[in-house]
Structure 1
Amino acid sequence: MKACLFLFLSVLAAPALAGEAISGRFNADPSPHVFNGKVYLYATDDASNSGTYWDSTSWRLYTSDDLKTWRDDGSFLDVSVFKWARPDAKAWAPEAAFRNGKYYFYAPVGGDKIGVAVADKPAGPYRDARSDALIDKARDANAGDEPIDPQVLIDDDGQAYLTFGTRVPKIVRLSTDMTSLAGPIENLVIKDFPADDPKKKYGEAPFLHKRNGLYYFSFSTGWPGQIVYATSKTPMGPYTYRGVIFDYLKISTNHQAIITFKGKTYFFYHDNLLPGGGDHKRSIAVEELHYNADGAIRQIVAK
């Protein structure tokens, strides 16, 4: 009985306050989703990398009913589920989506491909939904230098969009099966970057969400980078630069996600928050996000 109690307590993190790590285990690249009234947070597992590179080979899952207390549900998927992946493939920033009664997991592997796995439950077990990659740099026109950082928006009309990529943001429509493309990969155009700030440009971490009929495209400006955003009245753009959401961090990467949960909007990110942390040993945290009356996002200042 004592052993079982210890195991149960070990997977529950202390309540995470704003700006504090959700777990005592290193994790990064948050992909939070509300499924069945509960938050499922899919993440890169920095605790299992070498500490000198982002070379973990599995993804980790955390769950919460209130965004304060988090349960570590462990390593639920490894790159080996994709038999077509290279032997040295790494598990980088993930994404998930729900449709057709199934859960879909979008996984960048090896830096040049994005796979998609499918499951009947949010925590899996997941299986490869295809026999090859959904996005393949060597196969697909305009896949870009690095088809990584996938993110999915399912619009109100049912059309799903996948954004991804570094240095030049990409966007493509997904078929209703969520495992195939429904059109060509296009560049997502961002206009009106500040002319007096050459650092304001797209780097990585694309994230698309919709509020009151307006599409918000947030992203990191580079390495290191700020999280900034642009808006459009159509999902494919073009988008107009609007401003900064989150400032530079002391680590080399900045990666965000935004969800609405129980009537409030939340901003997830990673930072150096635990002892021994740094560029390759990051920790996920969450802050509430607010909008002004005109729809502009207020800049978040980390606690």
Structure 2
Amino acid sequence: MKSLPLACLVFALAVPTMAAEPISPRFNADPSPHVFDGKVYVYATNDQDNSGKYWDSTDWRLFSSPDLKTWTDEGSFLSVTVFKWAKPDAKAWAPEAAFRNGKYYFYAPVGGDKIGVAVSDAPKGPFVDARTDALVDKARDANAGAEPIDPAVLIDDDGQAYLMFGTRVPKIVKLKSNMIETDGPILDIQVNGFPADDAKKKYGEAPYLHKRDGVYYFTFSTGWPGQIVYATATSPLGPYTYRGVVLDYLDISTNHQAIIDFGGQSWLFYHDSLLDGGGSYKRSITFAPLSYGEHGTIVEVKK
């Protein structure tokens, strides 16, 4: 094989390219990837079983892999009916999971106006409702926002857990150590420094928070359709400063991401239209390597 010039090699390493291979032949979306006991689990919205006209599935799907090469479909492991306070036909949207206290917690946006939390002794379940009501409820909780959806959890180095969620205005609230109760008020997240000449650069949905080298990285979608962009801060509560694009617009109406480290590499999970018959309501989860540049920047993942 002919060797590449050094400059070309450096460029190739600096700009990750997309895997563009779906993790399943089933339609699925809104990835919540986690490394539990050395294995990757991806909790997902079940696009396979929606109407094809809206995001109206009523259960969540789980996929697992020991190596990011072979994937197992663990099935539809949880339905909205586990939450007795929810309508049986309530929409099951973008989920989240976390591990603490020897338990696995599943954060479930139900019906577009509530977030429930379920608990299990194993990543695959069975999960049961950890409460008798919603963790976040638009009708009950001050400053829950127009749509308390898209939950994302960060457990910080000091043990404090945070829940982010929301459309149009990003929200954050502390969680108690039991992971099933909020601790204090729901706060708005402030993001400064959006380009003044780009009206499309604003928060839309899909908040996600990770920490690297003491810096908090807040990634999110700018809308419908949206780019995945990022901002950084020295505190999980912000304020955050806009830094740039992680993933450009896709040919579907939504964009939803998460970032994990596995096998000595950072990975960007997202969804796209990758299977025959796919589109804005029939999406597919995939992933790509993610790299960091100088001064803690994220290198844009190029399609």
Which category of TM-score, normalised to the shorter sequence, fits these structures? Answer: over 0.9
Any idea what SS the aligned residue of 1:130 has? coil
2:126 alignment partner in structure 1: 125
Deviation of residue 87 (structure 1)?
3.3
Find out whether 1:200 has 2:190 as its counterpart: no
In structure 1, the partner of 2:110 is: 109
What is the aligned partner in structure 1 of residue 253 from structure 2? 252
Provide the C-alpha distance between the structure 1 equivalents of 2:88 and 2:296, rounded to a whole number of angstroms. Answer: 46
Aligned: 1:182 with 2:183: yes
Match of 1:75 in 2: 76
User: What is the identity, as a one-letter code, of the residue corresponding to 2:96?
Assistant: E
1:164 alignment counterpart: 165
Structure 2 equivalent of residue 147 of structure 1 = 148
For residue 223 of structure 1, report the CA deviation from its aligned partner. Answer: 0.2
Distance 2:171 2:226 in 1: 19
SS of the residue aligned with 1:47?
Answer: helix
Shift of 1:55: 0.4
d(CA) in 1 for partners of 2:245, 2:299? 8
SS at match of 1:131: coil
CA deviations 1:188-219 (Å, max 9, x no partner) are 11001000000000000000000000000000
Q: Which one-letter code corresponds to 1:19 in the other structure?
A: A
Q: Kindly report which structure 2 residues correspond to 1:79-90, keeping only aligned pairs within 5 A, or say none.
A: 79-90=80-91
Give the 3-state SS of the residue equivalent to 2:140 in structure 1: coil
Q: Distance in 2 between matches of 1:170 and 1:52?
A: 28
Q: Does 1:270 align with 2:277?
A: no
Give the C-alpha shift of residue 88 in structure 1: 2.9
Structure 2 letter corresponding to 1:249: L
Q: CA deviation at 1:19?
A: 1.4
Paired residue for 1:285? 286
Aligned AA for 1:117?
A
Partners in 1 of 2:99 and 2:89 — Cα distance?
29
Aligned to 1:55: 56
The match for 1:295 is 296
Q: Tell me the number of residue pairs that the alignment of Structure 1 and Structure 2 aligns.
A: 286
Aligned partner letter, 1:161 = Y
Distance 2:88 2:27 in 1: 24
Q: Which amino acid aligns with 1:259?
A: I
The DSSP-based 3-state class of the residue aligned with 1:208 is strand
The letter of the residue matching 1:296 is T
Q: CA deviation at 1:174?
A: 0.2
Kindly indicate whether the alpha-carbon contact (under 8 Å) linking 2:81 and 2:87 is maintained by their aligned counterparts in 1.
no
Deviation at residue 293 of structure 1 after TM alignment: 2.5
CA distance in 2, matches of 1:213, 1:136: 32
- TM-score relative to the length of structure 1: 0.94
Between the aligned partners of 1:21 and 1:40, the Cα distance in structure 2 is 15
Once residues 186 and 77 of structure 2 are traced to their aligned partners in structure 1, the CA distance between those partners, rounded to angstroms, is 30
Q: Which runs of 5+ in 1 are unaligned?
A: 1-16
Partner of 1:6: none
Bigger Cα displacement from structure 2, 86-95 vs 55-64: 86-95
Moved over 6 A (4+): none
Deviation at 1:69, TM superposition (A): 1.1
Distance 1:100 1:208 in 2: 21
1:12 aligns with none
Q: Give 1:164 deviation, angstroms.
A: 0.1
Aligned partners of 2:265, 2:205: CA distance in 1, in Å? 26
* 1:68 to partner: Cα distance: 1.4
RMSD between aligned residues: 0.7
Instruction: Measure, in 1, the Cα distance between the counterparts of 2:85 and 2:255.
Output: 29
